[in-house]
Structure 1
């Protein structure tokens, strides 16, 4: 139940002594891991920490795709389509968490472009036309990722767009060639 649906409770909480509110706040924050990560970032980290986070995220993504070479082959068969979609989803989850914590749009889009370009570079045959159902699912998922990434890219300031332009063009060229855009 939401606090804004219970105005009496909200008013009572706001009228508590400061010390009581502080205790409640600390207890509540401890129950939500994402909130703890967000507060840690907002209150205790700075630009250098953000750059470290971005670097570590990119390393994790690169490692994820490097390890993916063991489970996904560039051969158009059912299992490879499913494994690649799973790999891309896992990588997207890492970026989603990063964005929720940092609210940094530039690094989010940079990493999303990186994910798609890695998938396209490493597994180009899995993006060819296919009659396999799992290929359709992968292609639909990637189309949605390309569209979302493009929309977010277009909302960035033009100076930030300029910095990402080359990798964005690489992604879009492949996507358009394979009818994924």
Structure 2
């Protein structure tokens, strides 16, 4: 809802102490804003790598676990995708978004390769999810500064090899995901 000009002027004219109280009450109602302000104002933006490393540690721990089915594994991957999205909203870390997404997919392939090898009714949803995630990743990489390609080249190629040799391969063909990168 947009503020009327008259209300804007009245708010600006309020005593500073009252504006501060209002601001603090409003900020407290938005969890994402609170996290972003903590990152920017308290951590001064210096904890990006620590935040990435924390997400990687959690991904690795879960990827090493025994999963009952590809469906349960996909749910874990979706949870981590949400964590990555939240990381991006808080830090604006575009490089980290690509790095963490590659890490997520690659780590699950490395530790759950057997479960992802064959495409069947149990692995179909997971296969589609992985292919769509990889397709989105490839589109983001295409828009990313090519100077960083060398940082991702080996891992992206390994990921593409997994995608084209495991259960997501039919979806990868449909989405026209390349077999080689760049």
1:150 correspondence with 2:147: no
Distance 1:128 1:59 in 2: 24
RMSD between aligned residues: 2.0
1:161 correspondence with 2:149: yes
Q: Which residue of 2 aligns with 1:21?
A: 19
Distance 1:146 1:136 in 2: 15
How far 1:14 moved relative to its partner? 3.7
1:123 to 102, 105, 112: 112
Q: Which residue of 2 aligns with 1:7?
A: 4
Would the alpha carbon gap of residues 10 and 126 (structure 1) be closer, same or farther in structure 2, given more than 3 Å must change? farther
Distance 2:47 2:70 in 1: 36
1:97 correspondence with 2:94: no
Q: Which residue of 1 aligns with 2:180?
A: none
Q: Which residue of 2 aligns with 1:76?
A: none
Unaligned runs of 5+ in 2: 178-182
**Greater Cα offset, 119-128 or 34-43:** 119-128
Query: What are the residue-to-residue correspondences of 1:68-107 with 2, within 5 Å?
Result: 69-70=65-66, 72=67, 79-107=68-96
Distance 1:150 1:22 in 2: 44
Matched length: 168
Distance 2:59 2:15 in 1: 46
Distance 1:26 1:122 in 2: 45
Distance 1:167 1:96 in 2: 20
Unaligned runs of 5+ in 1: 73-78
How far 1:62 moved relative to its partner? 1.4
Structure whose residues are more often helix by fraction: 1
Output the TM-score relative to the length of structure 1: 0.82
Would the alpha carbon gap of residues 11 and 171 (structure 1) be closer, same or farther in structure 2, given more than 3 Å must change? farther
